[in-house]
Chain A
Amino acid sequence: MHGLKKNKVRVAGSYIYLTILALLAVFPLLWIIVSSFKSNNEMNKFPTSFFPKELTMRNYNLVFEELKFGNNMLNSLIVSFASTVLTVVIAALGAYAVVRFFPKFGKLLTQGLILAYMLPTILLAVPYSITLGQVGLLNTRIGLIIIYLSFSVPYALWLLVGFFKTVPIQIEEAASVDGANKFQIFVTVVLPIVAPGIVAVAIYTFINTWNEFLYSLVLINSRDKMTVAVALQSLQGQEILDWGVMMAASTVVVIPSVIFFMCIQKFIAGGLAAGSDK
């Protein structure tokens, strides 16, 4: 009886604790969104009400018409989309080869790629900017796309190895008896089985490249090629800090990230735990 009561208190405590944490976790997101619809006048008043008294689109108009933020969003979309497609293709081929054809060498390779995770971004940024400069790809989106592969492929490969391991080899053998070659088997038999994993990895890659900051900062320097993260940073340097405008720009950047993230939360949950026994 006593134990039961103690347990109830514990459960109640858990609910309270989680509620406080959840409020803290989502408050900044809500604050960004509601602030983006507030007029300048209202933003600087205190106490400011949580919800705007009158909705204004002024901030959004400024963001897209005067600051041409749509252009930066397009840059980010191009860079993230291209690196995601390349990442998924390279990592899927590589992960399959690691699982099926080169288990020993593959293990070495994945370990090498994990080690890459240890490298400070700032360490790689130096040779990247030098080499891109030498081949004329500095300050280009193509250069940035290539560099993004350096962190997205290792992680994607690592995750995909786990998915490919779940594919039963018998199915592939059956297809090979029917006369299909390795590439045909890979595309028509294996890929459909791991499709959910590939979609999840693609979304994860997209978010990470969309959010990336340092490489974009040091490898791109003209305003018309800047990605959203760096464009937002450069907005801060302007004479008058207009928080309404900043929050409107932030809203259009953070919302896709959060929505995509929600879609793959189940997958994220298993990621590392599955990886640890590889």
Chain B
Amino acid sequence: MKIRKKKKSPGTVLFILPTVLLFVLLLLYPVLSSVFYSFTNKHLIKTRLDMVAFENYASVLRDKEYWNALLTSSKWTLICLAGQFLIGFTAALSLERIKHGRTLFRTLLIVPWAFPTIIIALVWKYLLNGVSGFIPNLLLKLNWVSAAPQFLSNKDLVFPTLVFINVWFGFPLIMVNVLSALQTVPKELYEAARIDGAKSGQQFFYITMPQINPVITLLLILRTVWIFNNFDLIYLITGGGPAGLTKTVSIYAYEVGWGLKSLGRSSAVSILSLIFLTIVIVILLQLQKKTNKNE
């Protein structure tokens, strides 16, 4: 009883006050003002502000370029997710299987994760550039190609190349999280399954997957959001080019806001993304609920 009374003492509020203030000032207020700006003609430099109702939304939704960007973003998110999970998962399972050098391999494999995006962009541009780049020249020397491939300006190569770079950077996070999730699966379950004669494939789908399902779903959601929203990787490598082929919604929003200086319209683009992502996440969560029921 005494402890309960103490809990209500005003001192405890001081502990949480900074967090609440931060939440309100740096997250809640900006989001609400973004919603507000999306209904105005807010300009980057001009100070005049008029309400324009749904005009920003209408003009965005009428813009063919927006729909192209949305398509690019969706394609980009799906393919990168698949790549990151494929490599991350297989790397984690391989690490589980080996006996020696596990720490060494894990340490080497997480190196890309520590890279600042700008350095990822610089080093890959340097390695891949069509004139003096190491990789195109190496392929030439090996006689695998007849002319130095233009990885970042050829319209057929640029998208797969960006996906490769994204997966290179993103797989370690998946690997590390899958690995630590794998270690939470009780070993007895596998022993029991082995006695029952379950093959390793069966063990994976009937024991491992259901056990680590919650972590995977969380990872899937966080990564979907991150890849979809990510701006700097593509912006720094191709800037959305060549010919707008790699222009995602984030780059589109940046161009509208800081290129065309139309912050109101840029806000509308971002709000639309937020709605889109919310729908995707709700669907993902529903799917997880369903698979849980089926098991």
Q: Is the CB of A123 within 8 A of B119?
A: no
Q: Is the CB of B116 within 8 A of A257?
A: yes
With A32-B123, A98-B16 as known contacts, state yes or no: A265 contacts B225, CB within 8 Å. Answer: no
Q: Is the CB of B29 within 8 A of A250?
A: no
Counting from the closest, the 3 A-B pairs by CB-CB distance are A94-B19, A123-B270, A97-B15
Q: Is A273 an interface residue (CB 8 A)?
A: yes
In chain B, positions 49-77 with a C-beta closer than 8 Å to chain A are: none
Q: Is B39 an interface residue (CB 8 A)?
A: no
CB-defined contacts of A250 to chain B, threshold 8 Å: 119, 122-123
Q: Is B204 an interface residue (CB 8 A)?
A: no
Q: Is the CB of B126 within 8 A of A21?
A: no
A109 to B27, CA, bound (A): 12
Q: Is the CB of A22 within 8 A of B105?
A: yes
Taking the nearest CB of chain A, how far is it from the CB of B181, in angstroms?
5
In chain A, positions 201-227 with a C-beta closer than 8 Å to chain B are: 207, 210-211, 213-214, 218
Q: Is A1 an interface residue (CB 8 A)?
A: no
Question: Could you give 9 example pairs across A and B, Cβ below 8 Å?
Answer: A14-B93, A21-B91, A28-B115, A32-B123, A46-B132, A100-B12, A130-B33, A154-B27, A211-B115
Query: Which residue of chain A has the shortest Cβ distance to B141 in the bound complex?
Result: A47
Q: Is A43 an interface residue (CB 8 A)?
A: yes
Q: Is the CB of B98 within 8 A of A15?
A: yes
Query: Which residue of chain A has the shortest Cβ distance to B115 in the bound complex?
Result: A254
Could you count the A-B residue pairs with CB atoms below 8 Å apart for me: how many are there?
A: 267
Most chain A CB atoms below 10 A, which of B19, B34, B105, B127 = B19
CB-defined contacts of B95 to chain A, threshold 8 Å: 14, 18
**Chain B 253-269 near chain A by CB (<8 Å), digits 1 or 0:** 11001100001001100
Partner of B123, one of A31, A105, A121: A31
Q: Is A258 an interface residue (CB 8 A)?
A: yes
**Chain B 18-39 near chain A by CB (<8 Å), digits 1 or 0:** 1110110011011101100100
Interface residues of A (CB under 8 A from B): 10-11, 13-15, 17-18, 21-22, 24-26, 28-29, 31-32, 35, 43-44, 46-48, 89-91, 93-94, 96-98, 100-102, 105-106, 109, 112-113, 116-128, 130-131, 146-147, 149-150, 153-154, 157, 173, 176, 181-183, 186, 207, 210-211, 213-214, 218, 228-230, 232-233, 236, 243, 246-247, 250, 253-254, 257-258, 260-262, 265, 268-273, 275-277
CB-defined contacts of B110 to chain A, threshold 8 Å: 25, 261, 265, 268
Q: Is B151 an interface residue (CB 8 A)?
A: no
CB-defined contacts of A10 to chain B, threshold 8 Å: 97
Taking the nearest CB of chain A, how far is it from the CB of B197, in angstroms?
11
Most chain B CB atoms below 10 A, which of A90, A123, A257, A262 = A123
**Chain B 97-122 near chain A by CB (<8 Å), digits 1 or 0:** 11100000111111111111111101
Q: Is B180 an interface residue (CB 8 A)?
A: yes
Q: Is the CB of A25 within 8 A of B31?
A: no
Q: Is the CB of A126 within 8 A of B15?
A: no
Partner of A269, one of B16, B42, B176: B176
Q: Is the CB of A118 within 8 A of B105?
A: no
Given contacts A43-B132, A213-B118, A258-B111, 17 further A-B contacts (CB under 8 A): A89-B18, A90-B18, A97-B19, A112-B27, A116-B23, A116-B27, A117-B222, A118-B281, A120-B253, A120-B273, A126-B37, A127-B30, A228-B118, A229-B116, A232-B119, A254-B114, A254-B116
Partner of B19, one of A109, A269, A272: A109
CB-defined contacts of B3 to chain A, threshold 8 Å: 173
Q: Is B150 an interface residue (CB 8 A)?
A: no
A47 to B132, CA, bound (A): 10
Partner of B34, one of A94, A126, A210, A246: A126
Q: Is B184 an interface residue (CB 8 A)?
A: yes
Q: Is the CB of A128 within 8 A of B180?
A: no
CB-defined contacts of A124 to chain B, threshold 8 Å: 27, 30-31, 34
Q: Is the CB of B109 within 8 A of A120?
A: no
A257 to B236, CA, bound (A): 19
Taking the nearest CB of chain B, how far is it from the CB of A92, in angstroms?
9
A94 to B13, CA, bound (A): 10
A14 to B102, CA, bound (A): 11
Taking the nearest CB of chain A, how far is it from the CB of B236, in angstroms?
7
Query: Which residue of chain A has the shortest Cβ distance to B164 in the bound complex?
Result: A24
Partner of A46, one of B6, B91, B105, B137: B137
